[in-house]
Structure 1
Amino acid sequence: MPIKTCVFDAYGTLFDVAAAARQAATETEFPQLIDAWAALAEHWRLKQLQYSWLRAITGDHTDFWTVTQNALDWALEKADLSPNAALRERLLQLYWELQAYPEVPEMLTRLKQAGLNTAILSNGSPEMLDGAVQSAGIGAELDDVLSIESVGIFKPAPQCYDLVQQRFGGTRDEVLFVSSNGWDAAGAAAYGFDTVWVNRAGDPVDRLAGQPRHILTHLAAIPELAGVA
């Protein structure tokens, strides 16, 4: 079936999750980040994901902003950067202003000009996602921003992927789902979406039941995969 809807994960896929720590490291108030920001960003992201998975398994759901703060607190302690209220506040502020990857605006524009539906499906809370979309200036190129908060469980629970068809209709094979997270791409593939894993880090493919149909290193080729000439 031809692709009618392109759906993107947000954090790490459209938005650079390392941007907050990288930006803070350039600011004179936080010289301690100059050599530590990359490790801090990595630990912050890893714990953010781990906490979301654990909460999904245990049924102990909370919003993604709480998860993000909990993960940052762990990462700051891991990096021997806590307690530091000013640094914590600045990093959280910057997380609402994450930079989009350079190829994102043109890629989304091409999809929209071709008449495809475009959307985000993210673990992020609606407020977080709204902040990131506005900061990146890509709101006009998206038909919707879908948050898992409406179902109360984090990806890769199938209830999350259900949101796409509930919003846009059609069949699962008419959806091109794009994520930089291997586990998310695997979950969407097992669900039945045509799936792209944006493997920016060159990681091995996850040993999971679902396997991405396409593997890219950036988003620029998404229009071609969606059938846009």
Structure 2
Amino acid sequence: MSKILGFDVYGTLVNTAAIEVPLRDCMGELAGVFAARWGEKQLEYSFRRGLMQHYADFSVCTRQALDYCCEAMAQPLSNEQRCRLIAAYAELPIFADVLDALAQLASEGNRLFAFSNGATADVKGILAKAEISDWFEGVVSAEDVRVFKPSPAVYAHFLRSTGGVVGHSWLVSSNPFDVIGARSAGMQAAWVKRDADAVYDPWDIAPSVCVKSLAELPARLAERDVSE
């Protein structure tokens, strides 16, 4: 049975941890810790902006989180270095399992969408750079409703934009907060547990399926069809 699948982009299709590579040129051994803190601060800023109803697109959260981390970790990067790091976000590599999984899911008649907190232009740019744009019917961005996941408004926007039906449309994400947000909004959701040490929030709102890699997803969705 064909499905509408909304793929989170950053961390699910695109390897955000790869930002550590250009960071090493700036700060050496601190790069890994800095990258992790930067990512955490990005999300914190997006959540806070959602609660405050003070929207700015995700690139602003990214830049301001970088500025915060530079000060908090005593890494006084130049404006040129900061610009290079921000630009690197537009060229992050995809995970090795992405291309084959998208091809198989599309060949099985599923409708694929990129579904992101990132601005539409930014998401289109990174998908084009990774040469996977053609697998997606379109991009659904949180910027259209001026709030971020996991706000229910973002998932409702996805359903409206794709013609999806509650209970039969899917989010695919490596982010537990995103999976919980989608499930709370009535969608099905696949958690991609890319890190063996990743912890899913114990909120009693389970993912519909859990996979270690996107390569497992087509088979798991087929199993769901049989069980239903």
For the residues of structure 2 that align with 1:80 and 1:18, how far apart are their CA atoms? 21
Aligned residues: 223
**Secondary structure class of the residue paired with 2:59:** helix
Query: How far apart are 1:167 and its partner, in Å?
Result: 2.3
1:141 aligns with 2:140: no
The answer for the alignment partner of 2:186 in structure 1 is 192
**Secondary structure class of the residue paired with 2:10:** coil
The answer for the alignment partner of 2:39 in structure 1 is 45
Which of 217, 221, 225 is the matching residue for 2:216?
221
Q: TM-score of the superposition, structure 1-length normalised?
A: 0.91
2:112–2:135 CA contact under 8 A, matched in 1: yes
The answer for the alignment partner of 2:96 in structure 1 is 102
The answer for the alignment partner of 1:14 in structure 2 is 13
Q: TM-score of the superposition, structure 2-length normalised?
A: 0.91
**Secondary structure class of the residue paired with 1:146:** strand
Query: How far apart are 1:209 and its partner, in Å?
Result: 5.2
Taking the TM superposition and a 5 Å limit, the aligned residue runs for 1:171-182 are 171-182=165-176
The answer for the alignment partner of 2:84 in structure 1 is 90
Taking the TM superposition and a 5 Å limit, the aligned residue runs for 1:60-99 are 60-99=54-93
For the residues of structure 2 that align with 1:208 and 1:12, how far apart are their CA atoms? 21
Moved over 4 A (4+): none
For the residues of structure 2 that align with 1:16 and 1:206, how far apart are their CA atoms? 21
Alpha-carbon RMSD? 1.8
Unaligned runs of 5+ in 1: none
Of 150-159 and 166-175, the range deviating more from structure 2: 166-175
The answer for the alignment partner of 2:161 in structure 1 is 167
* Aligned residue type for 1:7: G
From the two aligned structures, give the one with the greater helix fraction.
2
For the residues of structure 1 that align with 2:112 and 2:93, how far apart are their CA atoms? 19
1:10–1:121 CA contact under 8 A, matched in 2: yes
* Aligned residue type for 1:151: V
**Secondary structure class of the residue paired with 1:39:** helix
Query: How far apart are 1:216 and its partner, in Å?
Result: 2.1
* Aligned residue type for 2:46: S
**Secondary structure class of the residue paired with 1:220:** helix
The answer for the alignment partner of 1:206 in structure 2 is 201
